[in-house]
Structure 1
Amino acid sequence: MSSIPKTHIAVIGAGPAGLMAAEVLAQGGTGVTVYDAMPSAGRKFLMAGRGGLNLTHSEALPSFLARYGEAMPQLAPAITAFPPDTLRAWSEALGQPTFVGSSGRVFPDAFKASPLLRAWLRRLDSLGVQFKLRHRWNGWEEDGQLSFQTSEGKRVVDADATVLALGGASWPRLGSDGTWVETLAAKGVAIAPLQPANSGFTVAWSDIFRDRFEGQPLKGVALSFGARTVRGEAMITRQGIEGGAIYALSAELREAVAGSGEAALRIALRPDLEMSDLIARLSEPRGKQSFSNFLRKAVHLSPVGIGLLQEAAMRSGVALSSLSPENLAGLINAVPVVLNGLAPIARAISTAGGISFDELDADFMIRRLPGVFAAGEMLDWEAPTGGYLLQASFATGAAAGKGVLKYLAVIASEAKQSI
């Protein structure tokens, strides 16, 4: 890109999408400054790696792309240009080789986000990328300058192009608070409402169940909603239920709750057992055992699983011990749990909604704001956990960076022709 004169590009947001855009831009020969409201870069990225940084997933690309649902056609070009293998090679070049876990998820060998982030920031520094932290973006001045609020007051910045990578609205204390929505909406940009994604749901647990089982995991269960069934784990919370298997169904569950006020989830506590086997085990003599001990020994149910059964029986007005082996077996592998609301967006892993793809051109530039590009979770897409969230953030950041370089080249060419 040697034809591009030295320019100043503003990248607003120091998460994965913004940092990747900054890297692509700096390698393309532009001057780049990354602005962020927080005191340090990559705060949500570090949070994502707290339990092990799941960078991407190893499944075949067609299956991988299908995870993005309705947004797949819009995201596919960016992810195809910057696929999981490229992301893994990029990480290894930073001294952070990766491995594939038993579930197909990809992690750095160090398993943490901090070594990768430190190496990345060193690379960006070597490329001349500048950082202006504690700079909260407030939109544009009338003359098009970027406006920031800093500890020293208002600051305005001239930029030849801008990449917005401000995230969604989950975990706002880490920087992504969604305040950009009003700023862009005032410019006429169509934005789908931000909603929790990969989030928990509320349940009207009884006080007894809530007090006893808050924080208890449901392991090896199968969760069903409509025609979809997901194997995995879930966690009982004081307000409801969350966890990987819940997150995998969260889009469908969210729509159901929004439409009718509730969603009827069914939990199979022993999905590995055939119904006939369950019935046979439950038909054995109980003897002098308590019913809970009988269930624990006969079907290897955990205390929280037994508690769920008791909760369901209580709500239906029957005694659990009065059920026939056939009915009890049916309940064990289809425990009804009524979800009556969404956990707060601030607690969600990610957000759905954002800038409509109809507002963007193929290079991720906002059509009605020439020279302004957007990437990452600001865009209207969602995906399950498993590496898909970070992959799309990295890939759209890279695509926006390339889009800026292309935009600058066109401007330079037009300027040359006008001389």
Structure 2
Amino acid sequence: MKGALVIGGGPAGLMAADALLSAGIPVLLAEAKPSLGRKFLMAGKSGLNLTKMEPLADFLSNYGTARNALSPMITAFGPDQVKTWAEGLGQPCFTGSTGRLFPTAMKASPLLRAWLARLDDMGLQRRTRWRWTGWDGDAVLFDTPVGPQRITPQVTVLALGGASWARLGSDGAWAGTLVQAGQPVAPFQPSNVGIVVEWSAHMQRHLGAPLKNIGFHAGDLSSRGEAVISTKGLEGGAIYPLAPALRAGAALFADLAPDLDEAAVAARLSRPKGKQSLSNHLRKALSLSPAKQALLMECARPLPDQPDALARLVKHLPIAHQGPRPMDEAISTAGGLRWDGLSDGLMLREKPGTFCAGEMLDWEAPTGGYLLTACLATGLWAGQHAARHCQR
């Protein structure tokens, strides 16, 4: 086959195909599912968060141990470039109050349609229900609706996703094949996922209630935002960034009044409460919602009478947990193809001419635009380096 093979029809694979086609190289894109961009569409159902408009150094700080590896790619295709790219596809964008960038249409489907139309016009060949099964020498093997297929491209880009949301195509099944080929793969772990908390019957009427303006910390990590008391434990944007520490067994603590320091909380709790119940006193003194009060009672009853001791609990409430929810409930995964198995251009050291991109690489980041931006950036980087390799 003359040209390039891209395996995986998510954002990373589509961006790699875009880069290759832009370099004048024919591309065949193979996707295991019946349609492209399924996880991308699901992620955009409640509002497609493309990226976060903030200084590059702040943006990169969200990638933890993979920051240095991802830095050149995100520097080349970061928040500003993501915005320009989306608008170039006819999708105007706006920046929310927290700096998050959204398409005006909010959904992923108009952007995906415009992108696929552009790629089709550039000559992209698509194959769906083609599941990659490995290699036979230089040949790339697939199971397809019309039987086994063998493709021998000049270059290949793998964009096979992580190991969460298997029903949408990210099942991590590729890892065994790459390990057999001599590539180092770090074990998958759930990221951006809720945690298991075994609630007492006292919490039943609060299940589904939001915990707004709440802080959490675990190990060296902290976050602030909103969480939800679910039937299984706690989930939401204020919990997800703590996944690395919680996976490692770190204790979890909540700050129910993040706008006040401990001394201010104690001062408010020292006010005479008269004949008020404790719940009314907490509500009036600290504006604690019923859900926050329920969490306080669940984790620390009987509550101390002394304002100083109660203030310490309000600011540093220990929450016993049993670790993260299962991987297939996670928004994303940690682990994957290790960086020491890749060249600077994201080419497999053990398989020259084969490049990798997206969530299959060993990195993780919180939600808020960081996941999608890194998928696009690594896809572009892999596609550009694959194009140069092909041209050589």
TM-score (norm 2): 0.96
1:73 to 47, 68, 71: 68
Q: Does 1:355 align with 2:337?
A: yes
Q: Does 1:395 align with 2:388?
A: no
* Alignment partners' CA distance in 2, 1:397 and 1:274: 44
1:47 positional shift: 1.2
- Asked whether the 8 Å contact 2:194–2:234 carries over to 1, the reply is yes
- Asked whether the 8 Å contact 2:246–2:324 carries over to 1, the reply is no
* Alignment partners' CA distance in 1, 2:225 and 2:64: 21
Q: Does 1:238 align with 2:228?
A: no
Q: Does 1:294 align with 2:287?
A: no
* Alignment partners' CA distance in 1, 2:339 and 2:184: 9
Q: Relative to structure 2, which stretch is displaced further, 344-353 or 274-283?
A: 274-283
* Alignment partners' CA distance in 1, 2:236 and 2:187: 24
Q: Does 1:208 align with 2:195?
A: no
1:157 positional shift: 2.1
Q: Does 1:45 align with 2:64?
A: no
AA at the equivalent of 1:148: F
1:115 to 110, 113, 117: 110
1:150 positional shift: 2.1
Partner residue, 1:172: 166
Q: Does 1:344 align with 2:326?
A: yes
Higher Rg: 1
1:106 to 101, 109, 120: 101
Equivalent pairs: percent with the same residue? Answer: 52
1:294 positional shift: 2.9
1:190 to 184, 196, 199: 184
Distance verdict in 2 for CA 1:72–1:273, change over 3 Å: closer
Q: Does 1:154 align with 2:148?
A: yes
1:325 to 307, 312, 332: 307
* Alignment partners' CA distance in 2, 1:226 and 1:323: 29
Partner residue, 1:260: none
1:228 positional shift: 3.8
Q: Relative to structure 2, which stretch is displaced further, 372-381 or 239-248?
A: 239-248
1:280 positional shift: 3.4
Partner residue, 2:13: 18
1:65 positional shift: 1.8
- Give the alignment's Cα RMSD to 1 decimal: 1.6
1:54 positional shift: 1.1
Distance verdict in 2 for CA 1:291–1:178, change over 3 Å: same
1:357 positional shift: 0.8
Partner residue, 2:219: 226
* Alignment partners' CA distance in 2, 1:120 and 1:57: 21
AA at the equivalent of 2:133: N
Q: Relative to structure 2, which stretch is displaced further, 110-119 or 142-151?
A: 142-151
1:242 positional shift: 1.5
* Alignment partners' CA distance in 2, 1:80 and 1:186: 33
Q: Relative to structure 2, which stretch is displaced further, 111-120 or 81-90?
A: 81-90
* Alignment partners' CA distance in 2, 1:355 and 1:114: 29
2:80 to 70, 85, 98: 85
SS of match in other structure, 2:18: helix
Partner residue, 1:275: 262
- Asked whether the 8 Å contact 2:345–2:382 carries over to 1, the reply is yes
Q: Which runs of 5+ in 2 are unaligned?
A: none
* Alignment partners' CA distance in 1, 2:186 and 2:57: 26
Q: Which runs of 5+ in 1 are unaligned?
A: 1-5, 258-262, 411-419
* Alignment partners' CA distance in 2, 1:181 and 1:58: 34
- Asked whether the 8 Å contact 2:31–2:130 carries over to 1, the reply is yes
* Alignment partners' CA distance in 2, 1:67 and 1:229: 12
Q: Relative to structure 2, which stretch is displaced further, 34-43 or 322-331?
A: 322-331
* Alignment partners' CA distance in 2, 1:150 and 1:290: 67
AA at the equivalent of 1:95: G
SS of match in other structure, 1:342: coil
Q: Relative to structure 2, which stretch is displaced further, 293-302 or 387-396?
A: 293-302
Q: Relative to structure 2, which stretch is displaced further, 188-197 or 101-110?
A: 101-110
2:251 to 261, 264, 283: 264
* Alignment partners' CA distance in 2, 1:382 and 1:240: 22
1:160 positional shift: 1.7
Q: Relative to structure 2, which stretch is displaced further, 168-177 or 272-281?
A: 272-281
CA shift digits 1:20-75 (9 cap, x unpaired): 00011111111111111111110111111112111111111122222212112211
1:93 positional shift: 0.8
SS of match in other structure, 1:272: coil
Moved over 4 A (4+): none
Partner residue, 2:134: 139
AA at the equivalent of 1:33: L
AA at the equivalent of 1:177: D
1:394 positional shift: 0.4
SS of match in other structure, 1:196: strand
1:323 positional shift: 2.2
SS of match in other structure, 2:351: coil
SS of match in other structure, 1:194: strand
Partner residue, 1:34: 29
SS of match in other structure, 2:199: coil
